[in-house]
Copies of this chain bind each other. A is one copy, B any other.
Amino acid sequence: MKTESLRLQSAPVNLEELKTACANCNLREICLPAGLSEAEIHGLDELVYVRKKVRRGDALYRTDEAFDAIYAIRSGFFKTRVTTLDGRDQVTGFSMAGEILGMDGIGHDKHNCDAIALEDSEICTIPYANLEKVALEVPSLQRHFHKVMSREIIRENGVMMLLGVMRAEERLAAFLLNLSQRLNARGYSALEFNLRMTREEIGSYLGMKLETVSRLFSKFQVDGLIEVNQKYVGLRNIEGLREIYAHHTR
């Protein structure tokens, strides 16, 4: 089990590595090329334009900026958010290594949300024009890209369900279980992690106020479900969390 931070150590970037970005990348199993054969992955040489660092707090893109690329997260952590006309905002998701950002931009050739780094991050820029072109030549890439977009639709369906029908406790349990599962899929502990986002950001995502998030963390701790201390969270009773999430003990 890896114990270091989510940030991968940054290697010096050389041209050779850039040209075979996806083939060499240790995220290829969970990122855009997932499911492609070795040969097909080598066909992606021209896909990835360049890696870029995004500092904690900086935007990868912002609402209304012209869209011309999607992004694969190599390391780090992002939130996406939309803002109402009167300035309230809603966090629409949290994204980690191997996940794709920016697909919201395709629909109207401009981005529909802000993507903000919650820690220093590194991303691969995939110009959309390249993606379109390569997808025409590599059918399995086209198919997989459709899957990635569809899964984003499915994910958002799940968030709508969280927000529409679940109670605050259930939402927070669902959030913790989801984070745990995604970290685990990346080789980190499913039982212990450090949150990258604030209580306010969690609350915005889950449709509740930061005070409610804090109170529920405390309650879960008293109930022996988790141990929590500032950003640290340890899951002490996963089954209990699942019951809250699924069975709806009221």
Contact = CB atoms under 8 A, between A and B. Distances in A.
Given A103-B150, A246-B86, A160 B157 contact: no
Contact of A147 (B107, B135, B136, B156): B107
Contacts of A204: 164-165
Interface in A145-180: 146-154, 156-161, 163-166
Interface string A9-35: 000000000000000000000000000
Contacts of A90: 160-161, 164-165
B248 A157 contact: no
A149 B139 contact: no
Secondary structure class of chain A's binding surface, majority of residues: helix
A206 B207 CA distance: 13
Contacts of A92: 157, 160-161
Nearest to A147: B107
Given A90-B164, A150-B149, A85 B246 contact: yes
A200 to B, nearest CB: 13
A146 B143 contact: no
Contact of A107 (B85, B107, B139, B151): B151
Interface of A: 82, 84-86, 88-90, 92, 103-108, 112-113, 132, 135-136, 139, 142-143, 146-154, 156-161, 163-166, 204-207, 246-248
